Every structure is written in structure tokens, then in C-alpha cells.
Amino acid sequence: MLDIQLRKMLDQMQAAGVPGLSDLPPALAREAYSQIARAGDVAPQGATIETRSFDGPGGPLALRIYRPQGDEAPHGLVLFIHGGGFVLGSPSDYDGVCSSLCRQSGCVLVQVDYRLAPEHPFPAAVDDVYAALCWAAEHAAEFGQGLPLIVACESAGGNLAAVVALLARDREGPKIAQQTLIYPAVAPLPEMFESYRRNGSGYTLTTRDTWYFSDFYLGHPEPAAIDFRAAPLLAENHADLPPALILVAGYDPLRDEGMAYADKLNEAGTLASLVDYPGLAHGFISMSGVLDAARLAVAQVAAAWADVTR
């Protein structure tokens, strides 16, 4: 059954005439996405926020760094990769959830403002996020000695986190202690799983939206031309990867592929813990301002990071 608070939120959005993201050109969709993300989340608190930059593969890339307030030293370093279908989103859209995760886990979080499609299609985002992972590993001592490194994400960011975990294994670094994949987009193309048809309209993410994002990020490739850097479910080998925490939602088109990725990891001997939020929909990790269940999910992720890093 759909969460009652989520049902109320969806009804309010419909009554207000909030447009579908795929009905807008990217520039306007980005504005709408930011407004929606910030409206549903809690206000940032309990963390200091710093902006920096580094030289990325295509030019300077901005970083947004969240440090726990207080005297206790940080326990871990998390590269958090925002969602938005590779087309939308910015680090500041996630100030609320990142501050909450930072405060509750005792970890420093780093977000990178990776390049977005259609201006910068695949593999620009992959290259930027891997470069940010290397930056985080190289600068970890600035935040605390010997901090374990975690990659975490939601949606398209889940794709990127899974991909850079594979790349880090194949390139022999940086070492990652854990990967947190929150309703990750890991399949080659939309509609490969039944959940796209079951949950493809009426909720926070539609099947039409997923095609909109895919077309901008990948263009119109033949399935055989898609490699694992676009779809980590296609990787030939899922062994020897960091243990994974994977969260899925019952009313999400991406539900089945997240579950399939957990199965792939476990079959290959990589420990993957799957957590199902059956009453929630895509994007719930940033809805703590309106959903009690979202606050529980944030607390669960933070507790998992604390277990890894302490």
C-alpha cells in the first residue's frame, strides 16, 4: 500500500499542476527538479558546508563538502553522488539529506558537480565522478587520518557509484569500504523490467521520464553497444567489489533492476544487503521534510555508514 503521507504529497502536486519533468526542456526541468527536491527535504543543519573545486577531466569541477559540527573527529569519508537522470540536479539540491547523513553518521560527505547531459553526454559523468573519487582518496587525510572511503548515491547517482566501484576494482584503486546504492539505475535501457510497466505512471518518476533521461545521456544506441560504464548490470564480473547496501522502493520503476543488481552481486560473492521500502516511491531519500518513512531511511543509511567506519 502506498504510504499515506506520500499519497497526500502526490495529490498536492497534482492539484498544484506541477509539470512532469519530461514535459520540459532541460533548463526548465532543472529548475523544477531543484524546487521539488528542496521542498520535500529538511533544512540543512548539524553540518558545516564548504565549497571547493578541483581540475576534472573536462575542466574545473565544483565540490560541496559537509563536515559534522562538534568536537568529535569524523569517522569516514563519503563521496555522495546526486541523482537527476544524468540531466538534472546539483549538489545544493541535496543540502538537507547530506547534512542529515553527515550529522547522524559522523562522516564527512563530498559531492561533485559532475557534468550533465545533453551538454555533456556519456561518459562525461563517469569520468568526472571517478576523478572525484580519486580526489577524495588523495585528500582524505585533510578530514582525518585513515578514514574509510564510501561511495553513495541515489538514482542516476546509484548508476555512477556502482560504475566507479567497478572501475576502482579494475584500476586497483582507490580502495572503497562500502557502496550505498539508493534505488539505482543500473539497467541498459528503460522498460527492461516489469516494474517499469507496473510503476511507470502516477508516482514521482515515470517511464516516460526514464526515456527522456536515457535519450539525452546515451542517445539511441543499440543494446549491444551499451557497455558497463552506462549500465553496471552488464559488467562481466561482479566479484571482489565493496559490500553494498541497496535500497529500493515499492512504487518505483527502478525497483526490479535494483533487486536484480543485488542478486548479481550476491551471486558473484560480493555481499549485498537489500532493503525494501514497499510503500515509498522514487526519490524518497530526499523527502524527510514530508515523509516519516524517509527519515527512517536516512537514519538507516547513516547507521550503516557508522557500522562500516567505527
Q: pLDDT tens-digit profile of 253-272?
A: 999 999 999 999 999 999 99
**Which residue type does 196 have?**
Y
- How many angstroms separate the CA atoms of 88 and 106, rounded? 28
> Is the separation of the CB atoms in 62 and 113 below 8 Å?
yes
Q: Which residues are catalytic?
A: 155, 252, 282
Per-residue pLDDT band for 220 (boundaries 50, 70, 90) equals: confident
Helix (H, G, I), strand (E, B) or coil at 122: coil
8 A C-beta contact, residue 47 and residue 102: yes
pLDDT value of position 157: 97
Q: Quick one: DSSP state of residue 261?
A: H
pLDDT of 49 reads 98
What is the distance, to the nearest Å, from the Cα of residue 238 to the centroid of all Cα atoms in its chain?
19
Q: What is the pTM of this model?
A: 0.96
- What is the fold of 4-309? Rossmann fold (3.40.50)
Q: Is 73 exposed, middle or buried (CB count within 10 Å of its CB: 0-12, 13-18, 19+)?
A: exposed
Distance CA 206, CA 188 (A): 17
The model's pLDDT over 44-73, given as tens digits with 9 standing for 90+, comes to 999 999 999 999 999 999 999 999 998 788
Q: How many CB atoms lie under 10 A from the CB of residue 119?
A: 10
Percent of the chain with pLDDT over 90: 93
Asked whether the bond before 118 is cis by omega within 30 degrees of 0, the reply is yes
* Structure-derived torsion over alpha carbons of residues 157, 2, 266, 239, reported in degrees to the nearest 10: -10
Return the pLDDT at 23: 95
Query: According to the model, what pLDDT value does residue 264 have?
Result: 98
Burial of 295 (0-12, 13-18, 19+ CB in 10 A): middle
CB-CB neighbours of 213 under 10 Å: 25
Q: Is 196 exposed, middle or buried (0-12, 13-18, 19+ CB in 10 A)?
A: buried
How far apart are alpha carbons 235 and 125 in whole angstroms? Answer: 18
Given this model, what pLDDT does residue 223 score?
73
Closest CA to 37 of 287, 298, 212, 292: 287
Q: What is the mean pLDDT of residues 290-302?
A: 98
H-helix or E-strand spanning residue 246: strand 244-251
